[in-house]
């Protein structure tokens, strides 16, 4: 029994090592997403039943009111899009003048959160779209207000998404105001990202919007990531300490978008 | 009759583990989630102590890996913790089984505490940090829930005549 416990413990530690540092388990990871999907699907049932009941019992007057509000909002957005069309055309013309590649318009699918990792320090969620919908590993997930995370495991009908606030996650960003490139790192807090290696002379201040820079070849360019909330220049240290707050509602959004910035066929090769 | 006698415990075992996994992942607000009992760990302790001749280290290892997969954690963390716990149980089940239920709870407190420390140690390797209260509150709740778990499983076994 003592040798068996030693062998199994070593097997567990090898599993830990292999999971963290190698890609031996890649084929199992997708299968494990499918394995856990039914549990999350069932655990999501009460929330969905509540939503369904809410929809069914909404009074007519409230629906009319909501409809009116949505129409107004749509009108406002449509006006903005009218301007967008001419601006986008102008942008493309200018880019052609500069001989740079055209920005492709992103295609998205709407997904719904069906579960979150139970451990509060692990920031992963499971969404109800998988390989049958064309979802691929590395795909970016955004909500209505900003970037949320990237797909790390794809099952048949569900996939696992690592949020940008997870301690194992970092992404390249740039300041929208002046284009300074930085790295935003998760620190295990849903409301905070740490910006690493900001030199003490960098032009960064509170209220700056950080957008994805696309330099890591992983996230599409230009999605809002976070807003700088705290900058502390300490002459005694090599780098300034900067804290930013994610733009996305990391723990509220239920409806999210998965962005296809490359056709799935290119990825699978 | 003979077949159902052999199948009964197996069905109870599988359904209890499934229920444990379900409770482990059920979405709860962060404040409440801190008090979630480590049901999977308690169930492994229960089953290993109740049928040490059938269930042992490999059983604990597999359940642990299953929990890691389902909880999106680091694979191997719970497998390691539960294997070591099962080892302690196998070495001392005769003594622990003869204790009163509340006395057993103290043992469960120590064992679940060990489990929490080992899991958080492995999570630390991956860069995830746990607060001390995230480790201690589930341990206390698990120890307090132990008599309830024993009672419920005992009732189920009596009701369906599973020896």
Q: Report residue A266's pLDDT band, with 50, 70 and 90 as the boundaries.
A: very low
Q: Nearest C-alpha of chain B: how many angstroms from A113?
A: 12
Distance of alpha carbon B12 from the chain centroid: 15
Residues A238 and A128: beta-carbon distance below 8 Å: no
Q: Report residue A54's pLDDT band, with 50, 70 and 90 as the boundaries.
A: confident
- Are A90 and A127 part of one and the same domain? no
The predicted-structure confidence for A234-257, as pLDDT tens digits, reads as follows: 888 889 999 999 999 888 888 899
- Are A52 and A63 part of one and the same domain? no
- Are A92 and A169 part of one and the same domain? no
* Domain at A195, CATH number: 2.40.10.340
Q: Report residue B1's pLDDT band, with 50, 70 and 90 as the boundaries.
A: very low
The predicted-structure confidence for B28-82, as pLDDT tens digits, reads as follows: 887 888 889 999 999 999 999 988 888 889 999 999 999 999 999 899 999 999 9
CA atoms within 13 A on the CB side of A15: 25
Coil/strand/helix, residue A100: coil
User: Does an H or E element contain B70, and which?
Assistant: helix B57-70
Q: How far apart are CA B15 and CA B69, in angstroms?
A: 18
- Are A121 and A48 part of one and the same domain? yes
Coil/strand/helix, residue A3: helix
Residues B20 and B142: beta-carbon distance below 8 Å: no
- Are A136 and A256 part of one and the same domain? yes
Find, among B119, B72, B75, B62, the residue nearest to A24 by Cα: B75
Find, among B18, B43, B11, the residue nearest to B142 by Cα: B43
Q: Nearest C-alpha of chain B: how many angstroms from A82?
A: 42
**CA dihedral defined by A113, A114, A118, A123, rounded to 10 degrees?**
-20
Q: How far apart are CA A161 and CA B128, in angstroms?
A: 17
The predicted-structure confidence for B98-141, as pLDDT tens digits, reads as follows: 999 999 999 999 999 999 999 999 999 988 888 888 899 999 99
By Cβ distance, the residue of A12, A20, A118 closest to B126 is: A20
- Report pLDDT for B30: 77
Identify each DSSP E strand in B67-111 by its residue range.
none
Residue A147 phi/psi, 5° resolution? -70, 135
Query: Model-level pTM?
Result: 0.84
- Are A148 and A75 part of one and the same domain? no
- Report pLDDT for A28: 87
Domains in chain A: how many in total? Answer: 2
Res. B5: pLDDT tops 70: no
In a domain, A12, yes or no: no
CB atoms within 10 A of CB B163: 6
Contact B21 A39 (CB under 8 A): yes
Residue A239 phi/psi, 5° resolution? -130, 155
Res. A182: pLDDT tops 60: yes
Q: Chains A and B: how many Cβ contacts under 8 Å?
A: 116
Spell out which residues of chain A touch residue B24, defining contact as CB-CB under 8 Å: 118
Average pLDDT, chain A: 87
Chain A, nearest residue to B60 by Cα? A8
- Are A72 and A43 part of one and the same domain? no
In a domain, A14, yes or no: no
Q: How far apart are CA B148 and CA B89, in angstroms?
A: 20
CB atoms within 10 A of CB A26: 10
Contact A39 B87 (CB under 8 A): no
Find, among B65, B33, B63, the residue nearest to B46 by Cα: B63
> How high is the ipTM of this complex?
0.87
Contact B128 A15 (CB under 8 A): no
DSSP tag of B29: -
Burial degree of A35 (CB within 10 A; 0-12, 13-18, 19+): middle
- Are A195 and A73 part of one and the same domain? no
Q: Which residue range(s) make up the domain with A202?
A: 29-57+105-264
In a domain, A10, yes or no: no
**DSSP secondary structure string, B102-157?**
HHHHHHHHHHHHHHHHHHHHHHHHTT----HHHHHHHHHHHHHHHHHHHHHHHHHH
Spell out which residues of chain A touch residue B122, defining contact as CB-CB under 8 Å: 16
- Report pLDDT for A267: 45
Chain B, nearest residue to A36 by Cα? B70
The predicted-structure confidence for A61-113, as pLDDT tens digits, reads as follows: 989 999 999 999 999 988 888 888 888 888 878 877 776 655 556 788 889 99
The predicted-structure confidence for A111-166, as pLDDT tens digits, reads as follows: 999 889 988 889 999 999 999 999 999 999 998 888 999 999 999 889 999 999 99
- Are A89 and A222 part of one and the same domain? no
Spell out which residues of chain B touch residue A115, defining contact as CB-CB under 8 Å: 25, 27
By Cβ distance, the residue of B27, B34, B79 closest to A12 is: B79
- Are A161 and A250 part of one and the same domain? yes
DSSP tag of A23: S
In a domain, A22, yes or no: no
Mutation choice for B interface testing from A119, A153, A165, A191 by most B CBs within 10 A:
A119
CB atoms within 10 A of CB B18: 14
- Are A241 and A126 part of one and the same domain? yes
- Are A180 and A246 part of one and the same domain? yes
Res. A264: pLDDT tops 50: no
Domain boundaries, chain B: 2-159
Residue that terminates a domain, selected from A45, A80, A97:
A97
Q: How far apart are CA A137 and CA A264, in angstroms?
A: 10
- Report pLDDT for B78: 94
């Amino acid at each position: 029994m003592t040798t068996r416990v030693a062998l199994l413990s070593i097997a567990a530690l090898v599993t830990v090592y292999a999971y963290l540092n190698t890609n031996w388990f890649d084929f199992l990871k997708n299968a494990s997403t499918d394995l856990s999907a039914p549990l999350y699907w069932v655990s999501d049932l009460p929330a969905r039943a509540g939503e369904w009941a809410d929809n069914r019992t909404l009074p007519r007057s409230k629906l009319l009111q909501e409809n009116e509000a949505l129409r107004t909002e749509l009108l406002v957005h449509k006006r903005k899009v009218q301007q967008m069309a001419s601006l986008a055309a102008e942008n493309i013309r200018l880019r052609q003048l500069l001989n740079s590649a055209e920005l492709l318009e992103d295609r998205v699918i709407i997904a719904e959160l069906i579960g979150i990792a139970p451990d509060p320090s692990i920031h992963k969620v499971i969404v109800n779209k998988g390989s049958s919908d064309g979802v691929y590993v590395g795909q970016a997930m955004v909500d209505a207000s900003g970037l949320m995370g990237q797909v790390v495991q794809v099952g048949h009908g569900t996939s696992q998404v690592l949020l940008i606030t997870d301690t194992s996650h970092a992404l390249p960003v740039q300041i929208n105001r002046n284009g300074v490139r930085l790295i935003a790192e998760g620190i295990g807090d849903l409301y905070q990202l740490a910006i690493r290696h900001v030199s003490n002379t960098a032009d960064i201040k509170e209220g700056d919007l950080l957008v994805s820079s696309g330099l890591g070849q992983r996230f599409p360019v230009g999605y809002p990531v976070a807003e700088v909330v705290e900058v502390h220049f300490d002459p005694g240290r090599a780098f300034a300490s900067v804290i930013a707050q994610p733009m996305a509602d990391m723990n509220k959004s239920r409806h999210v978008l998965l962005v296809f910035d490359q056709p799935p066929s290119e990825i699978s090769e | 009759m003979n077949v159902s006698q052999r199948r009964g415990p197996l069905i109870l075992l599988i359904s209890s583990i499934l229920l444990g996994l379900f409770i482990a992942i059920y979405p709860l607000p962060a404040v409440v989630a801190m008090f979630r009992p480590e049901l999977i760990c308690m169930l492994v302790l229960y089953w290993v102590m109740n049928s040490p001749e059938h269930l042992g280290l490999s059983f604990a290892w597999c359940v642990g890996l299953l929990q890691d997969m389902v909880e999106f954690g680091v694979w191997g963390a719970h497998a390691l913790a539960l294997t070591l716990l099962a080892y302690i149980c196998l070495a001392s089940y005769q003594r622990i089984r003869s204790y009163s239920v509340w006395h057993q709870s103290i043992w469960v407190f120590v064992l679940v505490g060990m489990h929490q420390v080992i899991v958080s140690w492995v999570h630390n390797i991956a860069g995830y940090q746990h607060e001390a209260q995230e480790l201690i509150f589930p341990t206390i709740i698990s120890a307090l829930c132990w008599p309830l778990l024993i009672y419920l499983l005992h009732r189920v076994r009596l009701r369906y005549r599973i020896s």
